[in-house]
A and B are shown apart, each in its own frame.
Chain A
């Protein structure tokens, strides 16, 4: 495994028009030339390529893919789980549902945490977007979207706005206001416009820009204030289902996964795809960066989750089991990155040991597909949204389960004794409607000290 090299922008005279421009490598009948961008575009529709049929181009692409895999394999010296053998095994730990958030009238499709580690926004098939306080389970805001199937929602970093969208092909931003007299819907700002459903959205580091992914196969970066398209990302051959921004402060890349089984890493400034990975056997439903930003995980309909390392430029781990046959709908890492939480269409959540590749735990509790799963910003809890209905008079209420795994990396690893996280009070109440079941989780995980060496 070695360092990553980036493509360098070479300036020089274009081999075709001879103007001084930023050059791109271009291949004409396996001869490498340097063209400037406009000439490269023109070349694509050049007469020279008329005799190349779609089939021959496809077979060329396939053979190149094979070559790329060969090149990638040359650096492959050891498997991740082999290196991880010298790592301490995780102890058994128990995660229990502490909160159940009920109130949606239909399937919950998406959710996001606020940076204050407390608030959650969730959207559902019935068109409602609700902001909850996860500690008290109170609903703080509710918006009804004009369309059903609100598949994407996101909390702004400042906590002052939410974005959502779905079958309306748009992404709308709602500023959150506590003023009872104000109608939230009135202040709605339509930011993104796609030609097909919106599958995912996320604010960048600020409230001012929003990144969206759509069923039309593209991702796009928008300016919230003006609604202007800043950058668009083309390259997926089918619907893009998910995206995640790189965690670094200067974050300039993001990864997207789509129905073409590809996960692609993009440079936000240039709009170019930097890396692509195509090892899944079916749609990629969810992608999430590893906390260090050097790797990402993906969950797919082929019932596997996979870990891709960006510097090694390859898939480094597959998380699968013979007994798991339903697709993974959403994945997220614990704060340290040692655990991977994955929600599946078989109503369960599997917790994987990222390094060793084994399953640590399986969580039951949902009564229908788990459609969305996010770990809170401080890593003390994760929340999962599902398609489940209940048997109550309240029609088709939905469950958002909040579990609290103890993952404070600042704490020193201790024995398997239950610990009170942040001294939260322990109250248990058996009623389900307004029930507040509070209590910290039973165990903490050791901080993995080896982590930095493994991804060198």
Chain B
């Protein structure tokens, strides 16, 4: 294996396929993985675990990973966290050390993080020659735990038939790899071996497992060089590199022309104009039309019906310090629309606010109405204040309303529109 402890191969930092949609997911997962391994900011505990006669280096339990995911990604349901963990494993960023099937379990199973060299974001599409070298290499290492699984043995047999002519070459490569491996430190080798195995579990998955390297063909086109000679995991270069079996004909990606951008500019300008038109209309609507303002003068009912009219009237009353009447009237109107469960509460609130002795917004009621109302309050229905409301209505109509119509505020509103209109007319 060409990877040393110092990771001599480039990990594809200046990645030309950055725009590929898969890459977005990979970067997000890498972000998560990096944080997970970061000791300083509360990462998962990666330890060496003693087992039987040997030590298992650099592992973390499934539970730790799931807990970390739940805490750091605000996941409430452990099922969701396990699912996400399984996906991260299936993509090839984390793997169980003693299983080919890449999934995450919320228990004491040990997992290891994949080396950046083998990350899927490096856009590996390893050839069968590489796979053959790998399987061959495995058979040469006579450790019990590195025995080939059934499906791997089948694959090896198949590849031997397919590469019958090249087999000597493959065998030599495998031998060379074994030699290199033997020179490495035992612990390091354990780790690297497991990582290499996990790599192949992603690219040559166990039959029945999802192959996460499959891509949506609609997005394949955007890989800038789909026909490039694929890099070999073991640095094997051959004269006759086979093309990808799924040969996507590279259609030239449409470049944006000046024409396109000019059209875009025209469109954007039209949109901006439309918005400015909208804005001016909205601004206009804030000021009531003259027609509307005139209507308020027809009768007291008219001004009460119109929201804007009510607001103007209220403002006027506030300036006269007599707004409690209108506010009481509005509160009682509102009370009539309340759901049954809220009625009793609102009745009490209105009483406290407007009628109770020492109320903050005391309204002026004659003693007779006051008697009736205080009786009604004991029952607490939605028509408790009917009598009082009628009284206040008459009061406002005869007194405040008349003054409002004569007030400067109202007169200004009436005349303001007239002023504008006349101005326009004057222009030549």
Contacts and interface: CB of A to CB of B under 8 A. Distances in A.
A190 interface: no
Contact of B272 (A44, A64, A327): A64
A323 B282 contact: no
B310 interface: no
B258 interface: yes
A17 interface: no
Given A27-B269, A151-B218, A323-B75, A237 B279 contact: no
B276 A238 contact: no
Interface in B366-396: none
B25 A327 contact: yes
Contacts of A326: 25, 87
A244 interface: no
B84 A323 contact: yes
Interface in A53-102: 54, 57-58, 60-61, 64-65, 67-68, 71-72, 74-75
B28 interface: yes
B424 interface: no
A387 B275 contact: no
Contacts, number: 142
A259 B256 CA distance: 14
Contacts of B14: none
Interface string B219-242: 101100000000000000000000
Interface residues on B, range: 35 or more
A35 B79 CA distance: 62
B84 A346 contact: yes
A294 interface: no
A74 to B, nearest CB: 6
A20 B257 CA distance: 31
A176 interface: no
A322 B73 contact: yes
A220 to B, nearest CB: 16
A325 B217 contact: no
A64 B24 contact: no
B267 A52 contact: no
Contacts of A25: 266, 269-270, 273
Contacts of B214: 387
B274 interface: yes
A124 to B, nearest CB: 12
Contact of A71 (B21, B87, B275): B275
A215 interface: yes
Interface in B250-284: 251, 253-254, 256-279, 281-282
Nearest 3 interchain pairs by C-beta: A71-B275, A64-B268, A301-B21
29 contacts: A2-B278, A2-B281, A24-B266, A44-B262, A49-B258, A54-B258, A57-B258, A57-B261, A61-B261, A61-B268, A64-B269, A68-B272, A68-B275, A74-B275, A75-B282, A151-B218, A196-B251, A197-B218, A215-B218, A235-B263, A241-B218, A282-B24, A283-B21, A303-B28, A323-B69, A323-B73, A325-B84, A348-B83, A362-B80
Given A217-B254, A276-B271, 14 more contacts: A25-B269, A25-B270, A27-B266, A58-B261, A61-B268, A64-B268, A68-B268, A71-B275, A149-B217, A197-B218, A237-B260, A327-B25, A364-B83, A387-B214
